[in-house]
Amino acid sequence: MSATRHPSAARFPVVGGELSVGGVPLSRLAARVGRTPFYAYDRALLTQRVQALREALPKAISLHFAMKANPMPAVVGHMAGLVDGIDVASGAELLVALDAGADPREISFAGPGKSEAELAQAVAAGILVNIESMREVTLLASIGERLGLRPRVAVRVNPDFELKSSGMKMGGGPKQFGIDAELVPQALAAIGERDLGFEGFHIFSGSQNLRAEAICEAQTKALALAVRLAGHAPSPTTLLNLGGGFGIPYFPGEQALDLVPIGAHLHGIVAEAGRELPRAELVIELGRYLVGEAGVYVARVLDRKVSRGEVFLVTDGGLHHHLAASGNFGQVIRKNYPVEIGTRAGAAERESASVVGPLCTPLDLLGDRMDLAVAAPGDLVVVFQSGAYGFTASPQQFLSHPPPLQVLV
């Protein structure tokens, strides 16, 4: 009997004994792509995720896509038609967002080290800049004068709290992100003095969180902090980006995030914001949660080796394409991403095997002693939960192997 599939795998139906993406059986998709390895993103799953959020969250909440999670132009183009705004993290991402048809009025730019050229791009495009230092205040004022445009700005706040139990803490304590909450009044005064177009606050305290109660607590604190800081602002607050932090389950024992309590809590946040910041649009900004579960990474088995009783499936993919799945992107103790032999989905004959890549390093490991269908050279290995921080977060030049391809199906 085959092993129980990871919940993420169940998103991709089995057709004729093969996993399918976007309704296309895996071997046919590989032939259509032309070669392996590749990333494949399912557009229907992307749409379904946004729809599920719309149903769970209050209608007053605007939904923004942090495209750093997956900046593939086709994905950004698809998402731009579904969400209310796009957050970019570089000048290059800004160009992709604009090319995708995103409304410049609904694009924001975050990042602690924006160059002067990138800030000029942002001002010329008419997007919102999340200011993260006094340096940016000075530069934006100068750029605005030079271009004859009034820069649109919000203050990214490094809050005096953190998102508990988050995979990556981005607020609270000393951080390179944003302006420390206690220094924000000074920054707001400078924004007023330089006549920048102040709109609001961006408060992002952490990411990859699976605990609804922690996310709700951070949202409550973010609103209270914004209300407190708004009293120092040079003009009414018309925007409050509450951040995101919504996580997806990668590893055994992890449970999917429950949106119900978050939605219920946000109804209260909307009501309170209506009293305290009546002109403010409330934004939830998500990246991984929107795209992570809609993508797979596919590599082909080149060789099957048995070394001292252990099976190794050597593939044409590896850590240079999918650093996160190798355990070398944020994991303290390595855990396996969900993996299947996609061309033998549901097969009864199974074994313990490790999935490795072609690189000359023991770090090139995509699956460590996993329960998998018995595979042979030519079979296709699938790594799930690969729609975010895969292609662009991996060292593709390492050892000079060919890069992977990407497709939206």
CATH number for the domain spanning 153: value is 3.20.20.10
Residue 344 has pLDDT above 80, yes or no: yes
Answer yes or no: do 401 and 260 share one domain. no
Residue 166's pLDDT band (cuts 50, 70, 90):
very low
Given 234, 264, 286, the domain boundary residue is 286
Answer yes or no: do 388 and 310 share one domain. yes
Answer yes or no: do 173 and 114 share one domain. yes
Residue 34's pLDDT band (cuts 50, 70, 90):
very high
Predicted local distance difference test score (pLDDT) of residue 253: 86
Given 253, 270, 286, the domain boundary residue is 286
Instruction: Give the range of the structural domain holding residue 172, as residue numbers without chain letter.
Output: 71-286
Residue 169 has pLDDT above 60, yes or no: no
Answer yes or no: do 256 and 383 share one domain. no
Answer yes or no: do 92 and 206 share one domain. yes
Answer yes or no: do 22 and 155 share one domain. no
Answer yes or no: do 352 and 205 share one domain. no
- HEC secondary structure over the chain: CCCCCCCCHHHCCEECCEEEECCEEHHHHHHHHCCCCEEEECHHHHHHHHHHHHHHCCCCEEEEEEHHHCCCHHHHHHHHCCCCEEEECCHHHHHHHHHCCCCHHHEEECCCCCCHHHHHHHHHHCCEEEECCHHHHHHHHHHHHHHCCCCEEEEEEECCCCCCCCCEECCCCCCCCCEEHHHHHHHHHHHHHCCCEEEEEECCCEECECCHHHHHHHHHHHHHHHHHHHCCCCCCCCEEECCCCECCCCCCCCCCCCHHHHHHHHHHHHHHHHHHCCCCEEEEEECHHHHHHHEEEEEEEEEEEEECCEEEEEECCCCCCCHHHHCCCCCCCCCCCCEEEHHHCCCCCEEEEEEECCCCCCCCEEEEEEEEECCCCCCEEEECCCCCCCCCCCCCCHHHCCCCEEEEC
Task: Give mean pLDDT, residues 156-181.
Answer: 70
Predicted local distance difference test score (pLDDT) of residue 5: 75
Determine, yes or no, domain membership for 52: no
Answer yes or no: do 302 and 400 share one domain. yes
Answer yes or no: do 102 and 153 share one domain. yes
CATH number for the domain spanning 18: value is 2.40.37.10
Answer yes or no: do 304 and 265 share one domain. no
Task: Give mean pLDDT, residues 256-282.
Answer: 97
Task: Give mean pLDDT, residues 339-346.
Answer: 95
Task: Give mean pLDDT, residues 145-154.
Answer: 98
Q: For 117-148, what is each residue's pLDDT tens digit?
A: 999 999 999 999 999 999 999 999 999 999 99
Answer yes or no: do 23 and 166 share one domain. no
What's the total number of domains in the chain? 2
The percentage of residues in the chain with a pLDDT greater than 90, rounded to a whole number, is 89
Answer yes or no: do 112 and 20 share one domain. no
Task: Give mean pLDDT, residues 297-326.
Answer: 97
Given 258, 286, 314, the domain boundary residue is 286
